[in-house]
Amino acid sequence: MEWARDFYGTTGEWWAAAEARITERDDRRVETIARFCRRPRARVLELGSGYGTTAVATALAGYAVTAVELTGRADRTSQVLADVGAPPDLLTLCRGDFYQVDLPGRFDVVTYWNGFGIGDDTDQRRLLRRIRHDWLA
């Protein structure tokens, strides 16, 4: 996992000015959540939230969002919130490794939008077990 922290942290510094903004991709992801979860104020856990653009868009749509991000990309989430005029406490941001982070409660929805190349098959199975047993309501 160390390579992921270094790679995504470094590229996050390079690309933040261009990427740390809500786009149609984020809106489509929120639409996907709405299509599968029709509960108002549902609790959403976003793993690997990056700059927080999808997490912010999801929170703006009325969901109670907890976002987990390993790298310094998470530091841009407050700017994304500010850019759309949202309060800094609109969502809960946890900086850490989602293989180890301890989160309170369960969630109606767990998302992991772009996890390509993170961990091997054993890691992926371990993550799926965490989602099933620890997080998903």
Strands (E) located in the chain: 43-47, 64-69, 92-95, 109-111
Residues 53-89 have pLDDT tens digits of 999 999 999 999 999 998 888 999 999 999 999 999 9
Is the pLDDT at 10 greater than 70? The verdict is no
Structure tokens at 20: 């740390």
pTM of the model: 0.89
Yes or no: say if 79 and 109 are a contact pair by the CB < 8 Å rule: no
Is the pLDDT at 113 greater than 60? The verdict is yes
Range scoring the smallest mean pLDDT among 7-11, 58-62, 101-105: 7-11
Question: C-alpha distances in angstroms, 131 versus 61, 65, 103, 106, 126?
Answer: 23, 15, 11, 9, 9
Yes or no: say if 67 and 94 are a contact pair by the CB < 8 Å rule: yes
